Structure 1
Amino acid sequence: MAGHSKWANIRHKKAAVDAKRSNVWTRLIKEITVSARLGGGDAGLNPRLRLAIDKAADVNMPKDNVNRAIQRGIGFIESSNYEEVRYEGYGIGGVAIIIDTITDNRTRTVAEVRHALSKHGGNLGTDGSVSFLFNHVGQFLFLPGISEDELMEAVLEANADDVTTNINGGIEIICPPNNFIQVRNALKSRDFRAVLSGITMKPQTKIKVIGDDVVKLQKLLSVLENLDDVQEIYTNADIADQ
């Protein structure tokens, strides 16, 4: 994939994050609650919870909100019966889409996801229909200007899988999901700041989207992102610069 396209995709991703800023606290509260329920309320022993708490700190969520979400997760405070549900489908031009949700009503959520896809040129697939096209990884992206050798040295002992430089000098670090915090801490100790990082579903190959299809696909992704139960969306679209 051309370098300019990768950074175009980053801009689109960041724009999507900004667009849902108003309800990011609600989504993080769900994530913290589910993480605590599944792995316990001790962030030191629960990497998923640690990551969710760190995300909450990044968006200035009050600690009281975080603590209440943890208490709900471990059963000290009554909570909705949230569950994680993944939906898989297709968008314009056969682009693969994974939609991760946390919901207390599967019937409502699947209806909303199906409606959004069908209304905007996509369709809902079956379980496993597109997930095989992605790898579950930790990912760190750096803008051009940072030494690959220095980054590699920083994460050498943190069990990163790969450090690569793309065509325009930007660098990507890939690691196993369970090593994400270890790699992040190694980078932080050397004062390296990624422009984008997280545990993600990374597509094995990309499908180029151009022209009017770019607008249509972005509309679909925007509608999905604005659904209350949607937590994360992953796609193998390579969105061309406009």
Structure 2
Amino acid sequence: MGRGPSIANRKGASDAQRGRLFTKLIREISMAARQGGADPDNNGRLSLAISRALAQNMPKDTIERATKRAAGEGADATQEIRYEGYAPGGVAVMVDCMTDNPTRTVAEVRHAFSKMGGSLGTSGSVAYMFTEQGQLLLELDDPAVEEKLLELALEAGADDVISDGGIVEVVAAPAQFAAVKAAVDTLGLPYLEAAVVQRPATTVAVQGEDAERVAKLVERLEELDDVQSVYANADWPG
């Protein structure tokens, strides 16, 4: 029987993964501050980025430095770019990136698609299948708390609150998301996810080899330094 990875190796992999996550979070904070200013009370995107960073135990001084530095910068070469394509099984994939070198980024994204049997498409080829929405995910087992959450979220402007098997999903338009999250925050509950995401209008069922290749494609894309988020309309087998 082969030996598994050593504790040191596993820790190294975990540290690398955490480092990539921190890099992406700082990049989002910087872009949000650059576009909307350094005051999170008047910048919903920055407020959300800071909340996500704090949820990952990023030190507050690291967040403050990133915010102030970005807000004080002049011209910056970093830009937001979205790539679209198809994964095996006809699954639509969107890849949101921040990069100072689009030539490098598109080459890396295209290579990931082709390696897993997918193909990079043109701008707009799959974006119409997704809608930008704010999403809060929480794990709850208390009906009374769930009822209070429902009341607070809807009063704050949420579009829907969906409960399924102990997981509660709050959906809101991007413009209302900050207000909805602030209302739900008063309950002091931990989030499984709190982000503005791209939700697919319809999903594509994938099984067997296609399911594995789609999952590996998403994983490869998420590991790229310039990639911020990956969205796919795959419906994996339960």
Pairwise TM-score range, normalised by the shorter structure: 0.7 to 0.9
CA deviation profile, 1:73-103 (whole Å, cap 9, x unmatched):
2234x88521100111110101011100000
Which position in structure 2 is the counterpart of 1:83? 79
- Asked if residue 211 in structure 1 is aligned to residue 213 in structure 2, the reply is no
Question: RMSD of the alignment, in Å?
Answer: 2.2
Query: Superposed, which structure 2 residues align to 1:62-211 within 5 Å?
Result: 62-76=59-73, 81-143=77-139, 145-147=141-143, 149-166=147-164, 168=165, 170-211=167-208
Task: Measure, in 1, the Cα distance between the counterparts of 2:82 and 2:175.
Answer: 20
Comparing 150-159 with 115-124, greater Cα deviation is found at 150-159
Alignment-mate amino acid for residue 154 of structure 2: L
- Asked if 1 retains the 8 angstrom alpha-carbon contact of 2:154 and 2:160, the reply is no
Alignment-mate amino acid for residue 71 of structure 2: I
Alignment-mate amino acid for residue 158 of structure 2: A
Alignment-mate amino acid for residue 176 of structure 1: A
Task: Measure, in 2, the Cα distance between the counterparts of 1:190 and 1:158.
Answer: 14
Task: Measure, in 2, the Cα distance between the counterparts of 1:75 and 1:169.
Answer: 44
Length, aligned pairs only: 223
Alignment-mate amino acid for residue 80 of structure 2: E
Deviation beyond 4 Å, 4+ runs, structure 1 = none
Task: Measure, in 1, the Cα distance between the counterparts of 2:56 and 2:173.
Answer: 25
TM-score (norm 2): 0.85
Task: Measure, in 2, the Cα distance between the counterparts of 1:52 and 1:18.
Answer: 21
- Asked if 2 retains the 8 angstrom alpha-carbon contact of 1:20 and 1:225, the reply is no
Which position in structure 1 is the counterpart of 2:43? 46
Task: Measure, in 1, the Cα distance between the counterparts of 2:100 and 2:192.
Answer: 33
Shift of 1:19: 8.4
Query: Structure 2: which 5+ residue stretches go unaligned?
Result: 1-13
Comparing 183-192 with 106-115, greater Cα deviation is found at 183-192
CA deviation profile, 1:170-192 (whole Å, cap 9, x unmatched):
33221011222221221121234
Task: Measure, in 2, the Cα distance between the counterparts of 1:40 and 1:119.
Answer: 40
Query: Structure 1: which 5+ residue stretches go unaligned?
Result: 1-16
Q: Secondary structure at the match of 2:42?
A: coil
Comparing 21-30 with 93-102, greater Cα deviation is found at 21-30
Which position in structure 2 is the counterpart of 1:229? 226
Which position in structure 1 is the counterpart of 2:5? none
Task: Measure, in 1, the Cα distance between the counterparts of 2:100 and 2:202.
Answer: 34
Task: Measure, in 1, the Cα distance between the counterparts of 2:25 and 2:181.
Answer: 20
Shift of 1:33: 1.1
Identity level (%): 45
Shift of 1:144: 5.8
Task: Measure, in 2, the Cα distance between the counterparts of 1:67 and 1:169.
Answer: 36
Task: Measure, in 2, the Cα distance between the counterparts of 1:165 and 1:18.
Answer: 34
Aligned pair in 2 of structure 1 residues 231, 159: CA closer, same or farther (>3 Å)? same
- Asked if 1 retains the 8 angstrom alpha-carbon contact of 2:137 and 2:191, the reply is yes
Bigger CA radius of gyration: 2
CA deviation profile, 1:115-150 (whole Å, cap 9, x unmatched):
110111111111111111111001122346343533
TM-score (norm 1): 0.84
Alignment-mate amino acid for residue 131 of structure 2: N
Which position in structure 1 is the counterpart of 2:7? none
